[in-house]
């Protein structure tokens, strides 16, 4: 039997009004529900109810990590800067790395991630292939000095993360650990009640070529992603773009006066054709300063990561540079480019025989510019940001689009850190080899925010059972009443003995206040005990998720609830437990 929570004693100051500085639903609701408070820019305090949710998510993550064979450790947050010099990241990481100097003038930093510390930990102690693989994890406060902290827990400066690091002897072994982590992360998302996609992603500051993000779908998410019914999904920043440009066919190339037309939108409107029938031109230079002209489908955007992969050091030209190269801003095109220009275009355009493009003359465009005849392309590449409607690279069907919150990411690091820091083991063949590493992160406080983003309505939060601060709230309508109060206490006690986490709203407040707070805080099940109902031997059971209400006879309640308790145990092992009470309302 767990302790019964009492609203009269609980530190859960709910707010009647939306706080003025909440810029996202999760922050707004967590603040209003008395679960979270802002201590300073990007710094939050979890109040008792918010902390309970945080712990539940942490425990789900811990259980799944332990089940996967990973072992929990705790590394210091404070790290010597020397280690970051060894790995080469001290400068690379930039101003998001929180730095300080200790009283002996030694440079330190607050860990945003722990590759350096853990490689230094194992490099003299894991000696043989026989001791591999190892997968070590920790659940800890991490730091990132965001330039503009916002969106509550989503872009805070101090946050709770689970980070794991695997040390493998071979790529095959890494792949196994990576797959096991991916599976564990899927289970974690399921158990937290998240609607998510596992998407192809980019390594970012951590590094690593094979990497995958777990995105909780939410309109408020900062990431664009595409996905397909075949199972494929990708971060829009990382996904391959198979655009579907359309042809605007004409008999011959024609130069058209397009006065005042400088953008794709203006051009498409002027010609009355879809944007997908136009070609967007971008001019840049490579690391040596040579001219590079880039053409992509008119309805797409250039992907900076991709062009950097094709032309290392690529930067867009300034207006002055364009003029000095003899280019025309707003009317650039492939016909009649300066001698020596390197011309690169999106692969998808190779199937388009006639292009609608700028004429390299202010106020003029071409229609029907013929590929291979009127102009040349030197290279074809994947250059554009993928978007909904593009072809799925796996099955060819049109992709769906969504926005997402990144709650977790897994990386195959390879030997990037172990090689830089000299962390080797003795392989079966007697050779010293650098560890093959992977790293695997779950944003615990981010997951909490993502859950709220997905589970709320105009009244407040709707916690999945698996992470709710408590399962059931018993609401006596008239505190002090000699029938209502003892019956509410009895019900709370009985439910608690069944193994439910129970809160009783024993405050001397009006029913309306209690109902509003119960919905705002988001207790999954509410049992209302009132004078009138008790006369007929009944209480009202309400399901927060659906809003369903049902009058239940007192003598049926216990049996119903023990049935729900069994269903919940089973449900929360395989998901968020959301259906456990369905039978009552069936």
Residues of this chain that bind a second copy (CB under 8 A): 3, 9-11, 13, 37, 39-40, 43-48, 51-52, 54, 66-67, 69, 71-80, 95-96, 98-100, 102-103, 110, 117, 120-121, 125-126, 134, 136, 140-141, 143, 145, 147, 157-158
H-helix segments, 327-457: 416-420, 444-454
Comparing C-alpha atoms, which of 519, 508, 507, 499 is closest to residue 564? Answer: 499
**95 or 312: CB nearest a second copy:** 95
Q: Quote the tokens at residue 486.
A: 């003892």
Comparing C-alpha atoms, which of 436, 439, 440 is closest to residue 167? Answer: 436
**70 or 189: CB nearest a second copy:** 70
C-alpha 466/C-alpha 470 separation (Å) is 9
- Output the smallest distance, CB 125 to a second copy, in A: 5
Angle at 528 between CA 522 and CA 534, to 5 degrees: 175
What 3 state SS string does 448-499 have? HHHHHHHCEECCEECCCCCCCCCCEEEEECCCCCCCHHHHHHHHHHHHHHHC
- Output the smallest distance, CB 429 to a second copy, in A: 20
> Quick check: 160 and 54 in contact, CB under 8 A?
yes
User: Which segments of 103-253 are extended strands (E)?
Assistant: 107-110, 134-143, 158-168, 196-200, 210-217, 223-227, 233-235
- Output the smallest distance, CB 70 to a second copy, in A: 10
Residue 318 DSSP code:
P
- Output the smallest distance, CB 484 to a second copy, in A: 21
- Output the smallest distance, CB 140 to a second copy, in A: 8
**120 or 181: CB nearest a second copy:** 120
Query: CA end-to-end span of the chain, whole Å?
Result: 28
**52 or 262: CB nearest a second copy:** 52
**80 or 389: CB nearest a second copy:** 80
Q: Which residues of 311-326 are buried (b: 16+ CB within 10 A; e: fewer)?
A: beebbebeeebbeeee
Segment (H or E) for 366: strand 364-370
- Output the smallest distance, CB 77 to a second copy, in A: 6
Q: Which residues of 454-482 are buried (b: 16+ CB within 10 A; e: fewer)?
A: bbbeeebbbbbbbbbbbbbbbbbbebebe
CA atoms within 13 A on the CB side of 50: 28
C-alpha 543/C-alpha 53 separation (Å) is 19
**70 or 465: CB nearest a second copy:** 70
**67 or 556: CB nearest a second copy:** 67
- Output the smallest distance, CB 10 to a second copy, in A: 7
**158 or 198: CB nearest a second copy:** 158
**135 or 220: CB nearest a second copy:** 135
- Output the smallest distance, CB 137 to a second copy, in A: 10
- Output the smallest distance, CB 37 to a second copy, in A: 6
């Amino acid at each position: 039997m767990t302790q019964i929570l009492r609203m009269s004693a609980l530190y859960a100051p709910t707010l009647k009004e939306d706080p003025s500085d909440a810029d996202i639903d999760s922050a707004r609701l967590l603040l209003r529900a008395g679960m979270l408070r802002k201590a300073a820019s990007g710094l939050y305090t979890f109040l008792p109810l918010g902390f309970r949710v945080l712990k539940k998510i942490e425990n789900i993550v811990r259980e799944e990590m332990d089940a996967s064979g990973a072992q929990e450790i705790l590394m210091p947050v404070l790290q010597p800067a020397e280690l970051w010099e060894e790995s080469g990241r001290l400068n690379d990481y930039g101003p998001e790395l929180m730095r300080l100097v200790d009283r002996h003038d030694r440079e330190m930093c607050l860990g945003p991630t722990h590759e350096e510390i853990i490689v230094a930990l194992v490099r003299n102690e894991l000696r043989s292939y026989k001791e591999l693989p190892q997968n070590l994890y920790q659940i800890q406060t991490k730091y990132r000095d965001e330039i503009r902290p916002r969106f509550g827990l989503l872009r805070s400066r101090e946050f709770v993360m689970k980070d794991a690091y695997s040390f493998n002897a071979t790529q095959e072994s890494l792949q196994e650990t990576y797959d096991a982590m991916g599976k564990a992360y899927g289970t974690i998302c399921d158990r937290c009640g998240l609607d998510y996609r596992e998407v192809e992603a980019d390594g970012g500051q951590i590094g690593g070529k094979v990497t995958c993000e777990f995105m909780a779908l939410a309109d408020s998410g900062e990431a664009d992603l595409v996905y397909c019914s075949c199972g494929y999904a990708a971060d829009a920043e990382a996904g391959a773009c198979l655009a579907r440009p359309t042809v605007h066919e004409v008999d011959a190339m024609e130069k058209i006066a397009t006065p005042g037309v400088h953008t794709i939108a203006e051009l498409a409107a002027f010609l009355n054709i879809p944007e997908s029938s136009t070609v967007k031109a971008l001019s840049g230079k490579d690391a040596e300063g040579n001219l590079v002209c880039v053409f992509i489908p008119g309805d797409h955007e250039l992907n900076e990561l991709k062009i950097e992969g094709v032309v290392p050091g690529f930067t867009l030209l300034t207006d002055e540079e364009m003029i000095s190269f003899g280019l025309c801003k707003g009317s650039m095109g492939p016909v009649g480019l300066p001698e020596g220009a390197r011309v690169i275009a999106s692969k998808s355009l190779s199937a388009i025989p006639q292009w609608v493009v700028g004429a390299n003359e202010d106020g003029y465009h071409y229609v029907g510019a013929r590929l291979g005849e009127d102009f040349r392309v030197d290279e074809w590449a994947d250059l554009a940001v993928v978007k909904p409607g593009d072809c799925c690279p796996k099955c060819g069907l049109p992709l769906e689009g969504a926005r997402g919150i990144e709650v977790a990411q897994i990386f195959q690091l390879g030997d990037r850190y172990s090689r830089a820091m000299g962390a080797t083991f003795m392989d079966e063949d007697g050779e010293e080899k650098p560890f093959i590493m992977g790293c695997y992160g779950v944003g615990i406080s981010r997951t909490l925010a993502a859950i709220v983003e997905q589970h709320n309505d105009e009244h407040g939060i709707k916690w999945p059972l698996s992470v709710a601060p408590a399962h059931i709230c018993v609401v006596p309508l008239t505190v002090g009443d000699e029938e209502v109060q003892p019956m509410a206490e009895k019900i709370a006690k009985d439910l608690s003995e069944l193994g439910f986490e129970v809160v009783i709203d024993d405050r001397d407040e009006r029913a309306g206040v209690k109902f509003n707070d119960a919905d705002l805080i988001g207790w999954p099940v509410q049992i209302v005990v009132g004078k009138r109902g008790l006369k007929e031997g009944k209480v009202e059971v309400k399901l927060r998720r659906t809003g369903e209400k049902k009058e239940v006879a007192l003598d049926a309640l216990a049996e119903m609830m023990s049935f729900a308790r069994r269903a919940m145990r089973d449900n929360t092992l395989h998901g968020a437990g959301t259906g456990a009470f369905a039978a009552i309302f069936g």
